[in-house]
Chains A and B, each alone.
Chain A
Amino acid sequence: GDSVTQMEGPVTLSEEAFLTINCTYTATGYPSLFWYVQYPGEGLQLLLKATKADDKGSNKGFEATYRKETTSFHLEKGSVQVSDSAVYFCARAGTGFQKLVFGTGTRLLVSP
Chain B
Amino acid sequence: GAVVSQHPSRVICKSGTSVKIECRSLDFQATTMFWYRQFPKQSLMLMATSNEGSKATYEQGVEKDKFLINHASLTLSTLTVTSAHPEDSSFYICSALGQGGAARNEKLFFGSGTQLSVL
- Quick one: CB contact mask for A20-51 with B, threshold 8 Å, 1 for yes? 00000000000010101010011111100101
A36 to B45 CA separation, bound complex (whole angstroms): 15
Partner of B103, one of A93, A101, A103: A93
Partner of A41, one of B93, B108, B112: B112
Range of interface residues on A (Cβ < 8 Å): 20 to 34
Neighbouring B residues of A93 by C-beta, 8 Å? 102-103
Query: Are A32 and B105 within 8 A (Cβ)?
Result: yes
> Does A60 have its Cβ within 8 Å of any Cβ on chain B?
no
Interface residues of A in 81-109 (CB under 8 A from B): 89, 93-94, 97-105
Stretch from B11-19, B36-44, B62-70, B79-87 contacting the other chain: B36-44
A71 to B39 CA separation, bound complex (whole angstroms): 25
Rounded to whole Å, the gap between the CB of A108 and the closest CB of chain B is 16
Interface residues of B in 41-58 (CB under 8 A from A): 41-46, 49
Of all chain B residues, the one with the shortest Cβ separation from A32 is B103
- Quick one: CB contact mask for A36-73 with B, threshold 8 Å, 1 for yes? 10100111111001010000000000000000000000
Query: Are A51 and B103 within 8 A (Cβ)?
Result: yes
A8 to B44 CA separation, bound complex (whole angstroms): 14
Partner of A98, one of B6, B9, B36, B49: B49
Rounded to whole Å, the gap between the CB of A51 and the closest CB of chain B is 7
Question: Lowest 7 CB-CB distances: which A-B pairs, in order?
Answer: A43-B110, A102-B44, A44-B110, A97-B103, A43-B112, A97-B101, A98-B102
17 contacts between A and B (CB under 8 A): A43-B93, A43-B113, A44-B93, A46-B105, A46-B108, A93-B102, A97-B101, A98-B32, A98-B102, A100-B46, A100-B105, A101-B46, A102-B44, A102-B45, A104-B41, A105-B38, A105-B43
